[in-house]
Amino acid sequence: MALDEEHKASVPDSEINKLAARPRRPLTLADLVKHGKPPLSEEALIASANFTLSLLPARLAHRITALRNLPFIVVSNPSVNKIYNNYLHSLSTLEPFYSREITTIEDEYKFTELMADLVRTHSNTIPVLAKGFLQCRKYVDPVEVTRFLDQHLRARIGTRLVAEQHLALHVASTDHPEEQCDDSHIGVIDTALKPADIVLSCQNFVGEICELKYGVRPSLIINGDPDAEFAHIPMHLEYIITELLKNAFRATIESGNEKHPIEVTIAAAPDVPSTSTKLESLRQLQLSHEKSYDYSLSGLEEYCADPDIVEPLNHVAPSITLRIRDRGGGISPETLPNIWNYSFTTFSNEDAASVDNGNSDGLNALSESGSDQSTIAGLGYGLPLSRAYAEYFGGGIAVQSMHGFGTDVYLSLSGVGKVK
């Protein structure tokens, strides 16, 4: 493959292999708030920078190794190779920092500028990878594509989140810090996040697109506990809710049932004792509804399996579940088993061309909202990527479909516990 010579010289294979061999553990929401609420002192900012630096090199090296392990014809693809070189570039720019500890606020400022560059460099990863895999779909097994993308996109969530959290803490602590006193945010985390507010915001956005495309928008009602709040990451929830509402709105309109409102029920469960208990409860739910539910637990199992996992801020982490119910005719039995797959095998050459030039219809463009501002419209990324965001911190998504009637989607999210 054609690699940048500077990157090859600055990141030797031996260094990449050594970093990739380091043990890695899942990131937790508690990790992200442990440095305190902004404005942070210089000492706390330096500690946040060093914590970020302790995680990123191994994560970047592991992604480089995973890309190298793809078939040569895939890695040689210009789009996939671009992502590969982006990771090499980011790792090489980190090298002056991870070889020593950050001890001064001047170094913290330089490191923060590097984090901003890293976030910019990897902002377009998903559509570029999608284009590459589309072009290589003749040479790679679809199952392997799904496996690789699932692992890569989950890893990307953590890598990006670590960098964005330090950036947000730095900005909140150095740019008008007096304004942070009454703010509920700790970096990218909102400690008083109301899912109902996110639902209403996403409803307006999805509804406007529906009116442009179909000339009509379904109504939506929120019931249950609309005042419930917990600590979570708004941009993740925005992406998930937008994707789920997009599916519900589209199905409702195309089935001619827009007179029936989409119902969003919010339920708060503040007494969930542990992630492992929740995992077991999800398993029991799946077993008791084996034929009607499609529940993905892979992310939870990975989350629970690591012995070095950091506990939440207390042992009772608030949990919130949203049910999105529509009368859109349900999912066909033939389609239901495939809803978690990255749907590359169904694309035509015209689909590939639309990725090349960024064209997409208005409703599919909803995939561009949320935390990944990218042109992945129509690629089958929405639901699996939503699942990845939900599961990353111990949540999950379940789908119950009644073919010919409608669909219920259950989104479960865990907070960080009590944030003082």
pLDDT number for residue 134: 83
Predicted confidence at residue 417, as pLDDT, reads: 55
pLDDT (tens digit, 9 = 90+) per residue, 277-334? 444 444 444 444 333 333 333 333 333 333 333 333 334 457 899 999 999 999 989 8
Please state, in angstroms and rounded to a whole number, the distance separating the CA atoms of residues 297 and 182: 37
pLDDT tens, residue by residue, 58-90: 999 999 999 999 999 999 999 999 999 999 999
Question: For residue 1, what pLDDT is reported?
Answer: 41
What pLDDT is stored for residue 63 in this prediction?
94
Per-residue pLDDT reduced to its tens digit, 162-212: 999 999 999 999 987 666 666 789 999 998 999 999 999 999 999 999 999
Sheet-wide strand order for 293-295: 220-224, 262-269, 319-326, 406-414, 396-402, 293-295
Question: For 394-418, what is each residue's pLDDT tens digit?
Answer: 899 999 999 999 999 999 998 865 5
The pLDDT tens digits of the residues spanning 342-390 come to 754 334 444 444 444 443 333 333 333 333 433 334 446 788 889 989 9
Q: Which pLDDT score is estimated for 167?
A: 95
pLDDT of residue 168: 95
Where in the chain are the domains? 5-182, 189-414
Contacts 24+ apart (CB under 8 A), 54-59: 55/24, 55/27, 55/158, 55/162, 56/94, 56/98, 56/118, 56/159, 56/162, 56/163, 57/19, 57/22, 57/91, 57/94, 57/98, 58/19, 58/20, 58/22, 58/24, 59/24, 59/155, 59/158, 59/159, 59/162
Instruction: Tell me the CATH number for domain 5-182.
Output: 1.20.140.20
The strand pairing partners of 155, in sequence order, are: none
pLDDT of residue 65: 95
CATH 3.30.565.10 fits 189-414, yes or no: yes
- Range with top average pLDDT, 7-21, 222-236, 374-388: 222-236
How confident is the model over 17-42, as a mean pLDDT?
87
pTM, rounded to two decimals: 0.78
